[in-house]
Amino acid sequence: MNHRFVITGGPGGGKSTILSALAKRGYHGVPESARRIIKERLAAGLTPRPDPEAFAHEILRSDIKKYRELRAYDHPVFFDRGVLDALYMLDEAQALTSNEISQYVSQFPYNGIVFLLPPWEEIYTTDSERDQTFEESVDVFEGMRTWYSEWGYETLEVPRGTPDERVSFMLQRVNSP
């Protein structure tokens, strides 16, 4: 069984909060790459993001490194976004061929269930690393739903609720036969 689980969706859906709540229950989580990259760029006095293609390539390199660092786990590990998220960005920028994307998808598989956090306007905020509008968050959410499905993943929408309720929902699915 592949114990690498992706948590994805649009910006501001609660992915980082869910990762923290999972950590409190003893689960290993892998933070998203984009926030770290943006923080580093801002600290260096650069714009938050380079052009979309360069940004997506940088995220992809980081996500692949994180994936490879976690060789074999016999218990669930949760990724705040996965390699496929970066591939989506590169596909949107028309920076990779379908064949190249397919090779990446087969080299870096995740569990067949992908947890999709829906846009949630009541909790949506912007900050120095998240400058997208709520409408852009909705677009990314829909894109992720379609993208992961196209690559054979089952997207499971996590209902809105407290972080504990959302984590319980996810773990119920992870631990079911």
CATH number at residue 57: 3.40.50.300
Number of domains in the chain: 1
Buried b (16+ CB within 10 A) or exposed e, 26-57: ebebbebbbbebbeebeeeeeeebeeeeebbb
Which parts of the chain sit beneath pLDDT 70? 72, 123-132, 177
- Name the residue range of residue 48's domain: 4-174
pLDDT at position 175 is 87
Q: What is the pTM of this model?
A: 0.90
Q: For residue 136, give the 3-state DSSP assignment.
A: helix
pLDDT at position 138 is 83
pLDDT at position 52 is 86
pLDDT at position 130 is 58
pLDDT at position 124 is 59
pLDDT at position 35 is 81
